[in-house]
Structure 1
Amino acid sequence: MKILGIDTSSQVATVAIMDEDKLIAEYTINYKKNHSENLMPMISEIFRSCDMKVDDIDLIGVCIGPGSFTGLRIGVATAKAIAHVRNIPIAPVNSLEALAFNMNFSKGIICPIIDAQRSDVYTSKYTWESNTLVSIEEMSVKNIDDLIDELNDRYDEIVLLGEGVDIHREKLNKLGNIYIAPNSHKLSKASSVCQIALQKYESGDTLDYKKVEPLYIRKSQAEVQYEEKLKRMNNNE
């Protein structure tokens, strides 16, 4: 089974092709957030480099969120378009889970953080048990200062990864109980998306392309501003 993995939930755009447990190719760009311009050329190039076609793909794994609203729409729309043409299933993958999957040798608590703007981060917590990634906290949006207080008070040791680490590194470096994942594992990897997608396929947890949608756990800035505008208008009536 050949799997195409896609993740554009953060600044990183990453694409991979796996054949069962064998990674065939992975293409990652961590430079600006030009996913609308980069994603399709990346997919075309990875197919060309592997001498493969879209017709060879049996399953698509795509990060549906949380993360960048625009990035999620681009990644999900692309996955749905390919799945529609090929009539193949999609395995929706939580972007925080995909990050945590990078640290499959970790023995402690894994805390991925993705930028949610305005000093907030999307976050959750995971641990590995019997070679299985287990969620121990629901994903949520937290102020970075609140998260830091929580990590400092409740945990002896924790692994941090995700783009939020670099954004808030100055504050995080003040904590003595954290380990920041190395650059090779810190950011999104489409190979992790592929592996999670395979697990979901084997457990029957896939969807038809029509049913796949981005996962937003907070309102966009535009929605917040619009609601604030409506409130002001109503108060002035």
Structure 2
Amino acid sequence: MNVLALDSSQKIRVGLKKGEDLFEISYTGEKKHAEILPVILEKLLDEMGLKVKDLDVVGVGIGPGGLTGLRVGIATVVGLVSPYDIPVAPLNSFEMAAKSCPIDGVVLVARRARKGYHYCAVYLKGEELNPLREPGVVSDEELKELTNEFSPKIVLKDDILISPVVLVEESEKLFKEKKTIHYYEIEPLYLQKSIAELNWEKKKRG
């Protein structure tokens, strides 16, 4: 089975599986996502002796994350798969981060949104990954409260590692479970609320 999977919600993570061979790339340089991601994919496919049409499924991180990075990743995947209508595996970036943790337990994932706020989710990682709190936008104060409430064993904050191997495994799993989508059905997980909405919610809480 040939599987390509990537996440660009923060750093660029790419995994490519051909049969039993799996290549992974994590790009942490300074080049912009739109500049370097197509180059990485072209070189990786060439190295593995694959063409886009040979892929069985393509996984893509849908967020939460940086809006520009997410758009680049999703647009790149749409450009790749649309001529062949290759199935797409939508991957929740926070879930992928939690599944990338080497140990089990309660995992809190948080990433800076705008000043004073974070994207945040909490999971219980074991044989399966169970959400204890779905991804949402919280204030810095609420993040502290959630940390106290759940007492996470692992806290992934801001510089979040996502394993390309996990991206590939989850994409293959969704394909086998027939949970893939068409490229035109991809919906990024944008959680950013307006300042007015956030201030109103804060005011209601007192």
Same fold (TM over 0.5): yes
Q: How many pairs are equivalent?
A: 197
Partner of 1:18: 17
Equivalent AA in structure 1 for residue 16 of structure 2: I
1:116 corresponding residue in structure 2: 113
Deviation readout 1:18-61 (Å, 9 max, x if unpaired): 247x4511111123461011110010111122222222211000
Provide the residue aligned with 1:51 in structure 2: 49
What pairs up with 1:150-165 in 2 under 5 angstroms? 150-151=146-147, 153-162=148-157, 164=158
2:18–2:48 Cα contact (<8 Å) kept: no
Higher Cα radius of gyration: 1
**Deviations 1:91-140 (Å, cap 9, x if unpaired)?**
1111100111101x4231011222213132212111223x2222221111
2:90–2:186 contact (8 Å) kept in structure 1:
yes
8 Å CA contact 2:12–2:28 kept in 1: the answer is: yes
TM-score (norm 2): 0.86
Unaligned segments of structure 2, at least 5 residues: 198-206
8 Å CA contact retained: 2:106, 2:151 = no
1:137 counterpart letter in structure 2: R
Gap change, CA 1:205 and 1:69, over 3 Å in 2: same
1:29–1:132 CA distance, 2 compared to 1 (3 A)? same
Which structure 1 segments of 5+ residues have no match?
167-185, 229-237
Report the alpha carbon displacement of residue 161 of structure 1 after superposing the two structures with TM.
Answer: 1.8
Q: Secondary structure, in 3 states, of the residue corresponding to 2:107? A: strand
Alignment of 1:50-69 (within 5 A): 50-69=48-67
Query: Is the CA contact (8 Å cut-off) linking 1:24 and 1:50 kept in structure 2?
Result: no
Q: Confirm or deny: 8 A CA contact 2:108 2:152 kept in the other structure.
A: no
SS of the equivalent of 2:82 reads helix
Identity of aligned residues (%): 27
User: What is the alpha-carbon root mean square deviation over aligned residues?
Assistant: 2.2
